[in-house]
A and B are shown apart, each in its own frame.
Chain A
Amino acid sequence: MKAFLAAVLRIVRKDLRVESRTKGITTTTAVFALLVVLAFAFSFVKTFREPAVLGRGALWVAFVFGGTLGVTKAAAVEDRNAALDGLLVAPIDRSAVYLGKVTSTALFVFVVNVVTLGATTILLGYAPTPRTALAVVGVLAVAAVGFAAVGVVVATLTYRSGLDELALPLLLVPLVVPVLLAGVELTAALTAGAPLGSWLRLLCLYTGVLLLAGVATFEFVVEE
């Protein structure tokens, strides 16, 4: 178990180092997410009187599109020079490779989402209390893990099978609908101070299911 976790951490560390040099995933994704928020601001800010509704709408639309771009970029790093093959011929469990990739990808998606949350506050007037904002950040963290859990598998599958990049959102988005739905409902409930109901359970359970499914399928996705 210790060796397994060490392998996961080594892959995360490698991804963080690569990203610290290129900033290819976070910068591109953040710019894209901010453009989504800006588009919302230009389109609705004068006519729409409920910043909380507008803010959470922009936040989760940016989450889906920015996240899709993020997982694509993360998979592209491993596709270039067949770098992923280098990880596969290392004496480590392939589920460690998967969990390492999920951890780093979720981290990148999460960081961009936090920036997006800040942008919705500034540009759309969405002003949750600090406690609510913290809870929303927690929801974003779990949602980022769920998104990355399925995103890593689908993006790897897309690249390794030579599918068009357009196939990625077509395969990915339907699979993350429960994450998105739970995220939107939880953000609404947190902002309104309403009970979270079963949405939090759904988000956590579905994320867990996606992770287990990813561990079970990654081996077959990476092997030709």
Chain B
Amino acid sequence: MTEPAIRVDGLTKTYGRIAAVDGLSFAVEEGETVGLFGPNGAGKTTLLRMLAGLVRPTGGTITLGASELTPDDHGIYRRLGVVTHETMLYDALTARENLRVHADLHGLDDPAARCEAVLDTVGLRERASQRPDTFSHGLCKRLSLARALLHRPDVLLLDEPYTGLDQRSVADLAAVLDGFDDRTVVLTTHDIDRGVARCDRALVLDRGELRADVVLDGSAEAFESTYRRSIGLDEPGRDRTT
């Protein structure tokens, strides 16, 4: 039996007395695309940043394949590609130079060729000599994705990949992601339609707790109903803005 790509056991993150993530346990199988859904403050981004090793858990464990994610095991980052709200890029460097910095840090063989390959993948070869601060939000997102894909990670972590993108940019991004269906992907989103279209499974979080674990069948309506019930959105008196 193969190990799951990601296993989370009793994961907790507290800030003072507030539990941003409260005892989460779940597993993500290899090649599976899992969406993290939930209202603002549900703990989606904190969970994703813990999976990326950017936030230190207060308790619990994260295992990638057979290896536990610890701050000292730097090699494990070769398996992870991370895209957050921020681009993680330097405005003073061109798109190509930014990718080269990360390719070098990952110790890739033939980094120049790999940079050109991912620029092609995300359709940015023409703009490679330009700086990211001249890019639209959609282009920045694509460059950010190129950075995350440089080292051919097994697991992609995407935080709100569709936020702030127009229809065309969303379609472009979806086309790029379509080429990586064999990877394990964990993404957070508020966009139920796009999330359901992209994901095999949904985890619904609310106030740091796992409220539902749903296998998706492509029906956004069916999932939305489960989602609303899971976070108590249909309960009388519940704040409908969250």
Q: Which residues of A come within 8 Å of B, CB atoms?
A: 3, 6-7, 10-11, 14, 17-18, 21-22, 77, 80-83, 85-94, 219-220, 223-224
Complex contact B78–A22 (CB within 8 A): no
Measured between C-beta atoms, what is the minimum distance from B112 to chain A in Å?
15
B-side interface residues, number (CB < 8 Å): 33
CB neighbours (8 Å) of A14 from chain B are 90, 93, 101
CB neighbours (8 Å) of B76 from chain A are 91
11 more A-B residue pairs beyond the given contacts A17-B92, A90-B105, A91-B74, with a C-beta to C-beta distance below 8 A: A14-B93, A14-B101, A18-B93, A21-B92, A22-B92, A77-B90, A81-B90, A82-B85, A89-B54, A90-B77, A94-B71
- Interface check B102, CB cutoff 8 A: yes
Q: In the assembly, what is the distance between CA of A18 and CA of B53, in Å?
A: 26
Partner of B92, one of A18, A82, A93: A18
Complex contact B77–A10 (CB within 8 A): no
Partner of A81, one of B71, B80, B88: B88
Complex contact A7–B86 (CB within 8 A): no
Complex contact B91–A81 (CB within 8 A): yes
Partner of A83, one of B53, B77, B89: B89
**A3-B107, A10-B104, A85-B54 known; A93 vs B74 contact (CB < 8 Å):** yes
CB neighbours (8 Å) of B55 from chain A are 223-224
Complex contact A89–B52 (CB within 8 A): yes
CB neighbours (8 Å) of A224 from chain B are 49, 54-56
CB neighbours (8 Å) of B236 from chain A are none
- Interface check B87, CB cutoff 8 A: yes
**A14-B101, A17-B97, A91-B76 known; A86 vs B71 contact (CB < 8 Å):** no
Q: Which residue of B lies closest to A15 (CB)?
A: B90
- Interface check B179, CB cutoff 8 A: no
Q: In the assembly, what is the distance between CA of A83 and CA of B133, in Å?
A: 13
Partner of A18, one of B84, B90, B107: B90
17 chain-A/chain-B pairs, Cβ below 8 angstroms: A10-B105, A14-B90, A22-B92, A80-B90, A81-B89, A81-B90, A81-B132, A82-B86, A82-B88, A85-B88, A88-B53, A89-B53, A89-B54, A90-B77, A90-B106, A91-B75, A223-B55
Complex contact B84–A82 (CB within 8 A): yes
Complex contact B71–A223 (CB within 8 A): yes
Complex contact B88–A7 (CB within 8 A): no
Partner of A85, one of B84, B91, B92: B84
Q: In the assembly, what is the distance between CA of A3 and CA of B55, in Å?
A: 25
- Interface check B147, CB cutoff 8 A: yes
Closest 8 CB pairs of A and B: A86-B88, A82-B86, A90-B105, A91-B77, A21-B92, A223-B56, A224-B55, A18-B92
Q: CB-defined interface of B89-118 with A at 8 Å, one 1/0 digit per residue?
A: 111110001000110111100000000000
